A and B are shown apart, each in its own frame.
Chain A
């Protein structure tokens, strides 16, 4: 039985990346600090994975200022949403196949 592991998105191999993506798919925009609080992670860890997702063009970054404080928000792109959906479909497929074997 062939298991479609290759359909799983490499960009989502990391758990935190998949979590970030699920938050950004469910919401129009999300800011850095709220993400950090929600995912209970560190600045550096979160920033590096956001960079990774940005490189894949799955998310876009909006930099703005609230008064003097920088307020960075993130938004998922169409490409990112599609990739996320495909990844979930592939996971579902995996479960189905394992049940039949």
Chain B
């Protein structure tokens, strides 16, 4: 056996071991685009909230189950729906971009987009993500608005840590940082603080990706 031949063999083995256990077709560009959508959405939401509320009203109003919280009192109903609409548009655009760009990359890398690796990755990502999503819906329903932002960061971080076993290792550190950020954001109570964190986190996260 020639040396070159052996080296090729070893390279192909390494490639195969990685390709068989990790979904390496996640598109980095789609992450950047999703971050840009999110920043635009955050800017819109920021504008809407600040046009709606006068200075002394700013900040979260947690009303428990009284259903007269910030979004539940009638004057804020529209605000609530507008924010939900923005979040929904951002979500749909991000998922679409992610799927389309990852499809392209998977074709280039010769990895099936719906194979064993992508299925495992999605499963371990979706479990904490949906748990957190439903928990957050319950929080919103019961009027605990101030917990929504950190909870979404924490559960997103958990889902990234779970998914990292099946894709790039960097995702694990990203997830850990999200969890820490989520825990730390609660130290700052003003809405301004949350938007600041949101922007900082988005920019930073996309840079890492």
Chain A residues engaging chain B, CB cutoff 8 angstroms: 15, 18-19, 22-23, 25-27, 30-31, 34, 37-39, 88, 91-92, 94-95, 98-99
Contacts and interface: CB of A to CB of B under 8 A. Distances in A.
5 contacts: A23-B16, A26-B21, A27-B21, A38-B115, A95-B3
Contact of A94 (B6, B12, B18, B20): B6
Q: Which 3 A-B pairs have CB atoms at the shortest separation, nearest pair first?
A: A26-B17, A23-B20, A34-B116
A31 B9 contact: no
Contacts of A25: 17
Contacts of B3: 94-95, 98-99
Given A88-B13, A94-B6, A95-B7, A37 B112 contact: yes
Given A15-B9, A94-B1, 6 more contacts: A23-B20, A26-B16, A37-B112, A39-B16, A95-B7, A98-B3
Given A31-B116, A37-B112, A88 B10 contact: yes
A39 B17 CA distance: 11
Interface string B2-29: 0100110110110011111100000000
Contacts of B18: 26
A92 B14 CA distance: 13
B9 A91 contact: yes
Given A34-B115, A37-B115, A91 B10 contact: yes
Contacts of B116: 30-31, 34
Interface string B85-116: 00000000000000000000000000010011
A59 to B, nearest CB: 14
Contacts of A26: 16-18, 20-21
A37 to B, nearest CB: 6
Give chain A's interface secondary structure class.
helix
A91 B11 CA distance: 12
A25 to B, nearest CB: 7
A19 B16 contact: yes
Interface string B133-176: 00000000000000000000000000000000000000000000
A38 B111 CA distance: 7
Contacts of B7: 95
B6 A22 contact: no
Nearest to B20: A23
A2 B21 CA distance: 37
A91 B12 CA distance: 13
B20 A38 contact: yes
Contact of A27 (B1, B6, B20): B20
Contacts of B112: 37
A95 B3 CA distance: 6
